[in-house]
Structure 1
């Protein structure tokens, strides 16, 4: 019987790229137990990977790295030795090692030659007896951070000895790459005569470092080099540089890497490759975006493809491509990048109806993210941005752009807002600085403008109550029959709606219902104590008792609030789309989104929405059961008054999908009026069968589950009725 082995690896912290996700998930999918050690939160670890704190092995915050390459491989070289020593039998694997088939080696010696000639031993896969002489000697050697390795070139050793005698010894972080890695392991293997313990080249490194880009070429090329003796396959993280520079951080079409991500259900656009060493790629811009939600992203120059694709897959946002020439003019010949950009997006799962090419100035609208990489301010004159900024920016927009020194861009931007410098590179001998721009508030501020609008809407019989952090309560009385309490974001109201009205204003007005709009000045989850105090006062004054029926409505953050604050009006109905139950990390430690609100206080009578909404009459929750975080929150709503209305494969922003399908209004009207039945809902939801996103997701799931014949029939059914590029390409692959 083969020996069952466990593998272990390290990721210090922060999100994984799709390459690490692929490798970790491959061990889970192939049935080999894998543990990931880390020192910080990692939000996107594949399910089935065992998590452990790295401080169990080395309790430190000193993450040494090879400074010349900006590589934490040095700390990993040190960590793996201590992991092997403290975890007998565990095999170390780098996070760029793929499980071709499980390692079931009987011996505790698990290591392999990485080059023809069988001399150099790599440590990307390393197993050693925890009490072995080789491990003891390497632990001793690495205990001195100024040690001079006897396996360094003689000239380098002499130089280091000279500097040490002069009182300036060379720290390990300044020494050559691999001195605690492959060079050290190779030295001690041969020093101790352990050559017979080393696996041949094709066990782990059938594709050598020199040939590493073969993983990026036609799949058959790599497959022809992998043998039946290959187990853990080193994919070489160095490929990230070419993936970022030439393939927008994605797996190249038709490559071996693309075959693997499809096999294991990894979506590269959700976890873009952001950099390698000192090089950074456009996908890294997602780390500098401080917005919790993005509804629309626009690209001015066609140079932000990986960033835009990642935003779309993470936020389900619409994409605008602004077709202007280098002088900022519309209406001339289409820019050459437009058609190729559209094809790229559609090839990577973006429905064509989510892409809009803007060819007239009057069609420009405010967007959440505007990309101007290698464009106005670096390659073209900055003054041509005036009209675009004036039409596209709202107070919560973010602009990512490049600025060449001497272009006049920094003085230009002072009129629009502040900027944060992200990185610098050289272009033609001049520095080019990448920045993110945050617009300044309009004259007088949104608050002042909202005060005027809200006071007018409230009239003599209603009320408007402004509070801290931009929170406010606006009551507009109409009928004592029904009151609808809505939760909205002030920025969306003021900057993303032409009428500058709270969500549902016209809709609710048409029904003759009274409305209480509760607005937040940002992503606060309404957790300012002032908001709770207002609901206490409304409850205690009998405000809600005036109405025969009270309904609380909201989506996402507003959905949380609708459920939570319904406790102020026991017996009310609630309609919530994709709500959170709480963001208290002690209750929902698995919630990795919305970090901006993690430090908020979610205690008190309006804290845990899943619990306090039990006082409501009926709680309608619309959600996508295949969104794991959303379904995790919904599962916490266990009271008998909850009616779960599933919207499979429509995502977190399913309100947008329902609206595109033309059924959001009748669903919400029925729910708010109390006439919606589950039969009515699912009858209307049948419309999704012709909705491109649903078709794509359904087809993808069939492929991922290896239901090949079902996927073929489904794909043919879809294409017989309408073109769906993702389905068409997927069907071709089948």
Structure 2
């Protein structure tokens, strides 16, 4: 009697690409139970996939691989045998196997021919009785890492025997591809007479290895080869090489791959193909980014578009394309790469108004990520990079670039920062190193310029207090009744804002309120004893008591601080956008962001913001409930004085979204002057209905939840209101 089977697979660790996400999610969506074994954290596993520690099967850190191809397929070949042995009835599937329909084979023998001629058996799909002779013999064979397989060509076996006789046996990692995989399975199937159990070609491999490119061509080509016998469909991970080299690591438009990712609600731009064997593609750079937030990215050469797209979809950042030539000159005519680049972005759900073409040097601005791939320092002369480094980097910028040996780039870059090697390739006989540049810490000159600015802003009646590790307090007296305490990052104030003022300075000035600006010396979360001492002194001296109303305000890191330091002014109001409650891993082990501050001490009276802010009059928390980590922090604020103001589907950078909608100022004004009620807030938030990001996220959620009819109706309604390109493309995919 047919029975639907549980399947299992392995991913040693690290992020999945969209191809693995697609295959895993296909089993979930088709109702087949799937378990993913792993040895390290995997941050982007689809919901519904069962997770288990690979050490339950093989407790090791020795992940052997085929050295010639730099592939862990060898370890997977070994792992699958032990998984089947320890989990009777479980079927192994490679992570590039798609569930076309659930496998309901009654027999525990589940494998199939991979080529016409009914001889070669593949192991991408493999089921064996846990007590079978076939499995026992395969386990015995793979227990010897220097064994000489009887199924290898005669000449190869002779060579291996001679080496073994000389005391230099050939280790399995140096042996031919598939020696523990298809070659071994094929041998034992025929050796033990198991041919009657082998499924026909169409079951798993209707599109053979030689035909694998059809997955990347018109969808009808692949569909025409799939039959009613097909259950699990091998998509051939070797396609990754062409996907990375020719298609920016994304499914080609109109291809079978694109049809599948749309059917299962996968966003490829968030998980592009990053590498195959020894080849690394540009999309992999997102794994080398050590920033928790990116608001802007610039590309100087037009060679980083898959990386830029991944950044936009992950961080919702703005994109700048710099229209310059190899001598850093700006021309009236567009560089040849610009048009195709913009088309690529817009076809992958980037709104045109988030893309800015820089056509003059005076328009260059500091960005969080600067891309210079195959450009200055590689194909072009290094010295012409200087104006971009001078104008486009701030203290937290990351520069990704290629450096050719003999270009002089490494000595040139010393003045700007340190660099880390990411990868190396050979081009025209010369090594080219891909690096990430991290700027040097701000110089004393920068610190002194802030001192001068701060003293000037404080005026005669105010004061400025520089502290340890770049922290400082700035008090600007105005209205004796209202004080607004803001929390900001000095690096951002000095490098990202043209007026070089703390956050909200002009806004607060326009209201005539007094201001206390607390500035951090980087991403410190203000966990500095000097900062605690300042708040203790201000409280003890009665500084806050002289005002009728005190409001603490901040966003993200600043939102944490606004809540955490509110006990210094009991009875104050707090306004926090997307705040963290703490970054203490013992309290919030699920908080995976902000690694830079994990070693800081979050204890004490200014420590856990969710607990200590109970001393405030009212704490208004603005957050997106669909951002799991932000929602987790918001849920920890449980005191009676807390007002939770939800902003669904607007993301962690909530302030930016509200600003783009034109309602940030009235919301903040109402919050700071005490007139913002829940009703007034949600009335203003109705504006989001015409906001492209909100529309896109709402539509995508309907699709992901399988509410196709609702999604179609919603999409049609949105398009009547405005030409939301992402929604239009998604609707086209739904309607065929």
User: Is the TM-score greater than 0.5?
Assistant: yes
What residue number does 2:447 align with?
Answer: 447
CA contact (8 A) 1:487 1:561 kept: yes
Give the equivalent residue in structure 2 for 1:213: 213
Contact 2:371–2:400 (CA under 8 A) maintained in structure 1 = yes
1:492-533 CA-to-partner distances (Å, cap 9, x unmatched) read: 111001122211112122223222222222222233444344
Q: In the alignment, what sits opposite 2:236?
A: 236
How far apart are 1:370 and its partner, in Å? 1.1
Deviation at 1:309, TM superposition (A): 0.5
Identify which range, 189-198 or 71-80, moves more after superposition. 189-198
Q: 1:582 is matched with which residue?
A: 582
Distance 1:430 1:161 in 2: 39
Distance of aligned partners of 1:182 and 1:444 in 2 relative to their CA distance in 1, 3 Å threshold = same
* 1:386-407 superposed Cα distances (whole Å, 9 cap, x missing partner): 2222221222222111222233
Aligned match of 1:153: 153
The C-alpha deviation readout for 1:98-155, integer Å capped at 9, x for no partner, is 1222222222222222111222121112222222222111111111111111111111
Work out whether residues 70 and 277 of structure 2, in 8 Å CA contact, stay in contact via their aligned partners in 1: yes
Alignment of structure 1 residues 357-396 onto 2, 5 Å: 357-396=357-396
Matched, 1:283 2:288: no
**Displacement, 1:163?**
0.8
350 and 529 in structure 1: CA distance in 2 versus 1, 3 angstrom threshold: same
Q: For 1:493, what is the secondary structure of its paired residue?
A: helix
* Matched residue SS, 2:215: helix
Aligned-partner Cα distance in 2 for 1:606–1:45: 36
- Counterpart of 1:14? 14
SS at match of 1:370: strand
Note if 1:500 corresponds to 2:497: no
Tell me the residue number matched to 1:107.
Answer: 107
What residue is the counterpart of 2:560 in the other structure? 560
Aligned to 2:48: 48
Distance 2:496 2:679 in 1: 34
How far the C-alpha of 1:684 sits from its partner, in A, is: 1.6
Aligned to 1:521: 521
1:175 aligns to what?
175
Q: Distance in 1 between matches of 2:198 and 2:543?
A: 78
User: Is the contact made by 2:265 and 2:703 (CA closer than 8 Å) also made in structure 1?
Assistant: no
- TM-aligned CA deviation for residue 227 of structure 1: 1.8
**SS where residue 481 of structure 1 aligns?**
strand
Quick one: structure 1 residues 79 and 708, their matched pair in 2 at CA, closer, same or farther if it must change by over 3 Å? closer
What TM-score does the superposition give when structure 1 sets the normalisation length?
0.95
The answer to whether the 8 A contact 1:292-1:523 is kept is no
Deviates more, 1:99-108 or 1:605-614: 605-614
Relative to structure 1, is the Cα distance of residues 477 and 255 closer, same or farther in structure 2, using a 3 angstrom cutoff? same
Structure 2 equivalent of residue 265 of structure 1: 265
Contact 2:57 2:82 in 1 (8 A): yes
How many angstroms does 1:276 deviate by?
A: 0.6
Aligned counterparts of 1:225 and 1:589: Cα–Cα separation in 2: 48
User: Cα gap change, 1:607/1:345 in structure 2, threshold over 3 Å: closer, same or farther?
Assistant: same
Contact kept, 8 Å, 2:402 with 2:433, in 1: the verdict is: yes
**Aligned equivalent of 1:607:** 607
> 1:458, CA displacement in angstroms?
3.7
- How far 1:285 moved relative to its partner? 0.9
Contact residue 109 and residue 128 of structure 1 kept, 8 A: yes
Q: Say if 2:311 and 2:317, in contact at 8 Å, map to a contact too.
A: yes
Q: CA deviation at 1:442?
A: 5.2
Structure 2 distance, partners of 1:647, 1:466, is 36
Classify 1:124/1:567 alpha carbon distance in 2 versus 1 (closer, same or farther; 3 Å).
Answer: farther
Secondary structure of 1:665's counterpart equals helix
d(CA) in 1 for partners of 2:205, 2:532: 61
Q: Alpha-carbon deviation of 1:284?
A: 1.0
Task: Find the counterpart in structure 1 of residue 82 from structure 2.
Answer: 82
1:624 aligns with 2:624: yes
Question: CA offset at residue 671 of structure 1?
Answer: 0.6
Greater shift, 478-487 or 284-293, is seen at: 478-487
**Cα distance per residue 1:635-677 (max 9 Å; x no partner):** 3333332222222222211211111121111110101111011
Report if the CA contact (8 A) 1:18-1:271 is conserved: yes
Following the alignment from structure 2 to structure 1, what is the Cα–Cα distance between the partners of residues 54 and 525? 33
Q: Is the 8 A contact 1:454 1:474 kept in 2?
A: yes
Distance 1:421 1:487 in 2: 35
Structure 2: runs of 5+ lacking an equivalent: none
- Per-residue CA distance 1:556-614 (angstroms, 9 max, x = gap): 22222222332443322221112223333444343332232333333433333333333
The CA distance in 1 between the partners of 2:589 and 2:26, in whole Å, is 25
Query: 2: distance between equivalents of 1:136 and 1:623?
Result: 56
Could you list the per-position Cα deviations for residues 42-66 of structure 1 after superposition, in whole angstroms to 9, with x for gaps in the alignment? Answer: 1111122222221121111111111
How far has the Cα of 1:706 moved from its partner? 4.8
How far apart, CA to CA, are the structure 1 residues paired with 2:417 and 2:362? Answer: 23
Deviations 1:233-272 (A, max 9, x none): 2111111111111111111111111111112111111112
1:35 is aligned to 35
TM-score computed with the length of structure 2 as normaliser: 0.95
Structure 1, 611-620 or 79-88: larger mean CA deviation: 611-620
Query: Relative to structure 2, which stretch is displaced further, 392-401 or 489-498?
Result: 392-401
Matches within 5 A, 1:335-350: 335-350=335-350
Tell me, yes or no, if the aligned pair for 1:325 and 1:332 is still in contact at 8 Å.
Answer: no
Gapped runs of 5+ residues in structure 1?
none
Counterpart CA distance in 2 for 1:287 and 1:111 is 35
Counterpart secondary structure, 2:479: coil
SS in 2 for 1:422: strand
Give the superposition deviation at 1:338.
1.0
What per-residue deviation string (whole Å, max 9, x for no partner) do you get for residues 204-248 of structure 1? 111111111111111122122222222222111111111111111
Contact in 2 for aligned 1:249/1:274 (Cα 8 Å): yes
2:220 aligned counterpart, secondary structure: helix
CA distance in 1, matches of 2:520, 2:725: 40
Shift of residue 4 of structure 1? 4.1
